[in-house]
């Protein structure tokens, strides 16, 4: 059987640690064939983002229509969209093409603190894209932005916010707890059918965490068509990311927050 085709719809990161570049590495690490639709160019390194150049919405749509009219797609990861126009266009194209296994990672702010989603685009994200998502994977600041409230500070608050994010339309929500304190990093998975699960892993002591959100969401997208259920895909993706963090210090890609080691199993 040929490899599963997984598409990343996201921005480009020249440093290779996040965005399209990280997604393609994660797709490959999970034995799938990666494809991409680029929504924005960034001038970026491990130290931060110095510029963002959005791709016009009509050209994003042309990329999608051209690709999806030819290739069979088994899953989609949606990352950085940048503008309201691109967000609306991507949501419409996902619906028009009936794409399966849509994982939405609501990229809003880079780890450096640089904003990657215009404030005006958050409404379009909520109303147009999230109802088309099979899985939404926000971190705590992103969940707070989507709900327009303060960040959760404990596991009970995470569960509450995750359930209320379901009301925005996604079939499932994986709320990531990496921003909480403690020796364990705990994520919460909830679904419209009542699923409520926790995924815990030891917190890894490294500053090289650039692209962790991109890598987790793209790993889940790659595993969804290969696993018997979404919870198994999430568990396996989290285990992969934990190992990628443990080996992250072996990569020397700059003087700031470096990337995780996507190919830790091979070199």
- Both tokens assigned to 27: 């797709």
From the candidates 83, 87, 212, 215, which is the catalytic residue?
212
**Of 82, 177, 211, 258, which is the active-site residue?**
211
Question: Given 32, 87, 209, 215, which residue is catalytic?
Answer: 209
Task: Look at residues 263, 235, 227 and name the one whose alpha carbon lies nearest to residue 248.
Answer: 263
> Active site includes 183?
no
213 is catalytic: yes
> Is 153 designated active site?
no
Asked if 19 is an active-site residue, the reply is no
Q: Looking at 213, 215, 238, 258, which residue is catalytic?
A: 213
Catalytic annotation on 214? yes
For CA atoms 119, 42, 112, 6, the dihedral sign is positive
* Given 11, 46, 83, 176, the catalytic residue: 176
Cβ(36)–Cβ(30) below 8 Å: no
| Strand order from edge to edge, sheet including 196-202 | 48-54, 33-45, 5-12, 75-78, 102-104, 135-136, 172-176, 184-191, 196-202
Torsion, Cα of 25, 30, 33, 34 (10° steps): -40
Output the CA angle 191-103-71, nearest 5 degrees.
Answer: 135
Structure tokens at 21: 């570049």
Question: Is there a catalytic annotation at residue 177?
Answer: no
Among 82, 83, 214, 215, which one carries the catalytic annotation? 214
Catalytic residues, by residue number, are 176, 209, 211-214
């Amino acid at each position: 059987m040929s490899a599963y085709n997984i598409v990343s719809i996201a921005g480009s990161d020249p440093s290779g640690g996040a965005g399209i570049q990280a997604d393609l590495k994660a797709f490959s690490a999970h034995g799938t064939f990666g494809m991409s639709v680029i929504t924005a160019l960034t001038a970026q390194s491990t130290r931060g983002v110095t510029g963002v150049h959005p791709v016009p919405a009509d050209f994003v749509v042309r990329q999608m229509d051209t690709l999806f009219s030819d290739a069979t797609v088994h899953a989609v990861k949606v990352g950085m969209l940048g503008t309201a126009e691109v967000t609306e266009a991507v949501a419409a194209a996902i619906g028009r093409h009936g794409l399966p296994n849509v994982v939405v990672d609501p990229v809003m702010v880079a780890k450096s603190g640089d904003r990657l989603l215009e404030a005006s685009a958050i409404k379009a994200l909520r109303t147009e894209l999230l109802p088309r998502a099979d899985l939404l994977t926000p971190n705590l600041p992103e969940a707070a932005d989507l709900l327009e409230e303060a960040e959760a500070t404990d596991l009970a608050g995470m569960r509450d916010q995750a359930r209320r994010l379901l009301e925005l339309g996604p079939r499932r929500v994986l709320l990531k707890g990496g921003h909480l304190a403690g020796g364990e990093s705990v994520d919460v998975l909830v679904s419209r059918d009542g699923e409520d699960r926790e995924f815990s892993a030891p917190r890894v002591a490294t500053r090289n965490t650039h692209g962790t959100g991109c890598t987790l969401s793209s790993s889940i997208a790659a595993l969804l068509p290969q696993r018997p259920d979404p919870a198994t895909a999430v568990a396996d993706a989290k285990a992969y990311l934990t190992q990628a963090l443990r080996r992250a210090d072996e990569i020397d890609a700059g003087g700031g927050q470096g990337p995780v080691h996507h190919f830790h199993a091979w070199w």
